[in-house]
Amino acid sequence: MASISLKNIVKRYGSGKSAVPVIHGVNAEIKDGEFIVLVGPSGCGKSTLLRMIAGLEEITGGELFIGDRLVNGLEPARRNIAMVFQNYALYPHMTNFENMAYGLKLAKVPKDEIRRRVDKAAKILELSHLLERKPRELSGGQRQRVAMGRAIVRQPQVFLFDEPLSNLDAKLRAQTRLEIQKLHRELGITSLFVTHDQVEAMTLAQRMIVMNAGNMEQFGTPEEVYHTPASTFVASFIGSPPMNLLQDAPGGQPGQILGIRPEHLDVRAEGGWEVRVETVELLGAERLIYGRLGAEQLVVRVEEGAPAPRADELIRVLPRPDRLHAFDAASGKRL
């Protein structure tokens, strides 16, 4: 296992005046054994950053340490990392055992040691009964577990996951998230996991890096990112539905954007803000009320048993004062 240190990491494509910057000076200290999630929308640079750590993309500027080694110039094979990709990249003509063992065979690891490592990984991933089958005989979730098993047997210092669950359906995604959490508890290997899904990020991360247009917007625990977002971007990206961001809220200050999570608005008989209801969504144990506060849209989350207003009805909602957030209107940064 190893820590990872990112010191002003920069990535540019091209050279000179035509160079296109895509990663703008990322700094982060990742502790030995941590599970870190890189999250952000498509094109924000999260996979590029992961590929630089893996050695698959050249680092334009800055320093990358894995443990106490500066690895900027090291080939991927010398970084002692293992990577799990979005596509499983399994050899269809090989059995699952052979797929998991292939890297070790190339490294000329003794046969008995290969068997020991593969059997151990298969037991952890509940694949022991599937080792003699071929990938086409498995479900998508099982194939992804074989791909993870192939990474485990290498006994790396660092695991890198590049959107490994995006090809799975919703039920399998949830199940595989649990398996990845269990895997990390058992192995304790430093792990970086890339996803655009903020639910995956919130449920998997010990700490998370929120990326936006090549910049690190925030680095913190899921609780810190959710409850004290560093910017309007983080506030609008993390949370489903996202935080309400209001430029003209009653009582707001000039030059500020006021933020409030939908669950921190209470429907009241009197007082608070007057909101005109547009529609109501029933989501099992809760309802989402979409309405208008003046010209701005407002979302209110209420428990399923609460009275449901009708479309075009006027209701009053009261923001909890200890849950209000203020952001600078020009920069979007938290005040």
Return the pLDDT at 139. Answer: 87
At residue 72 the predicted structure's pLDDT band, cuts being 50, 70 and 90, is very high
Using alpha carbons, select from 238, 282, 286, 293 the residue that is nearest to residue 261. 238
Q: Over range 135-140, report the average pLDDT.
A: 90
Return the pLDDT at 242. Answer: 94
Return the pLDDT at 1. Answer: 74
Return the pLDDT at 87. Answer: 81
pLDDT surpasses 90 at 243: yes
Q: Cβ contacts of residue 240 below 8 Å, gap of 6+?
A: 198, 199
Return the pLDDT at 165. Answer: 85
What is the Cα–Cα distance from 245 to 272, expressed in whole angstroms? 17
CB 87 within 8 A of CB 167: yes
Q: Give the model confidence (pLDDT) of 205-238 as tens digits.
A: 999 999 999 999 999 999 999 999 999 999 999 9
Q: Give the model confidence (pLDDT) of 113-131 as tens digits.
A: 999 999 999 998 889 999 9
When the candidates are 3.40.720.10, 2.40.50.140, 3.10.560.10, 3.20.20.70, the CATH number that belongs to 245-251+259-328 is 2.40.50.140
Using alpha carbons, select from 201, 270, 194, 273 the residue that is nearest to residue 237. 201
pLDDT surpasses 90 at 64: yes
Residue of 29 and 255 predicted with greater confidence: 29
Cα→Cα distances 185→149, 182, 188, 202, 331, Å: 15, 5, 6, 17, 39
Q: Where are the domains of the chain?
A: 4-234, 245-251+259-328
Q: Give the model confidence (pLDDT) of 7-35 as tens digits.
A: 999 999 998 888 999 999 999 999 999 99
Return the pLDDT at 166. Answer: 83
Cα→Cα distances 109→102, 218, 275, Å: 10, 42, 68
pLDDT surpasses 80 at 269: no
Return the pLDDT at 293. Answer: 95
pLDDT surpasses 90 at 273: yes
Taking the domain 4-234, which CATH number applies?
3.40.50.300
Q: Over range 35-54, report the average pLDDT.
A: 96
pLDDT surpasses 90 at 298: yes
Return the pLDDT at 227. Answer: 96
- The continuous run of DSSP H or E covering 20 comes out as strand 20-30
